[in-house]
Amino acid sequence: MKRIELNESVYARNNGIAQEVRRALDARGIRMYNLLGTPGSGKTTLLEQLLRCDNRRIAVIEGDLFTDEDAQRIRACGVQAVQLNTQGACHLEADAVAQALGQLDLDGIDTIVVDNVGNLVCTAEFSLGEHRRIAVISVTEGNDKPRKYPLIFRTSDIVVLNKMDLLPYTNFDPVRFARDVRQLNPRVEILSCAAVRGEGVQELRKRLTGDRNKEDG
């Protein structure tokens, strides 16, 4: 009972900071995306490909338990990146993102992407102040994931079904997957992708640019 109360206060505190983060971003006309998914679903590869299309006004916050390997990969695309290391914790929280934002030069930036810790459960429970959530799942992970891990699908605006290049070698059924995801979240957009080949990345880029244009209009 004590534990549940504490969890609720952890969520409430996090949500308060997330709201502050979002207000600060709104004041600067910056949109933030929270990229979530299983370890190895291809989030960082997708992001690299996205930055190869268009990196002029984007900055990245990388989340991992340990190492700065992903921030190095992003910087190699010519993009500012701050690496957050949770030192073993399973998700990012809004206070760490607020600190990371303070380390970025936001002049000329209109889009921030947070590449969250690889985790299909805990990351979905914590708002970072993002405007949109993008869940990345790969066809090698099996069809049962929406039914077993509903929260991440329920709270995402876009679901990217990645590693479509491996589809012929699996028993994954994309039609069933889309049906299960839409049952949890009727308004979600589902995009198919083979990030390693750059396939489908333009579609995601158009969504992000569309968001910016809607803001401007």
Q: Among the candidate windows 51-59, 103-111, 165-173, 182-190, which touches a copy of itself by CB under 8 A?
A: 165-173
In the list 40, 78, 102, 210, the residue contacting a copy of itself (rule: CB under 8 A) is 40
In the list 23, 56, 57, 147, the residue contacting a copy of itself (rule: CB under 8 A) is 147
> 166 or 191: whose CB is closer to a copy of itself?
166
CB count, 10 Å around CB of 184?
18
> 3 or 187: whose CB is closer to a copy of itself?
3
Q: Is the dihedral of CA 168, 170, 176, 180 positive or negative?
A: negative
In the list 48, 64, 115, 157, the residue contacting a copy of itself (rule: CB under 8 A) is 64
Reduced to 3 states, what is the DSSP secondary structure of residue 113? strand
In whole angstroms, how far apart are CA 130 and each of 82, 99, 174, 180, 187? 16, 15, 28, 25, 18
> 152 or 158: whose CB is closer to a copy of itself?
152
Asked if 191 contacts 161 with a C-beta cutoff of 8 angstroms, the reply is yes
166 binds a copy of itself (CB under 8 A): yes
Give DSSP secondary structure letters for 138-175. EGGG-TTHHHHSHHHHHS-SEEEEE-GGGGGGS---HH
72 binds a copy of itself (CB under 8 A): no
Six token digits for residue 73: 């990969």
12 binds a copy of itself (CB under 8 A): no
Q: How far is the CB of 164 from a copy of itself (least distance, A)?
A: 12
**Cα 166 to Cα 202: distance, rounded to the nearest angstrom:** 19
**Cα 44 to Cα 62: distance, rounded to the nearest angstrom:** 9
> 106 or 167: whose CB is closer to a copy of itself?
167
In the list 1, 12, 27, 148, the residue contacting a copy of itself (rule: CB under 8 A) is 148
In the list 24, 53, 106, 151, the residue contacting a copy of itself (rule: CB under 8 A) is 151
Asked if 35 contacts 115 with a C-beta cutoff of 8 angstroms, the reply is yes
Name the residues that contact a copy of itself, by CB under 8 A. 2-3, 6, 10, 38-40, 64-67, 69, 88-90, 117-122, 138, 140-142, 144-145, 147-151, 163, 165-166, 169-171, 196
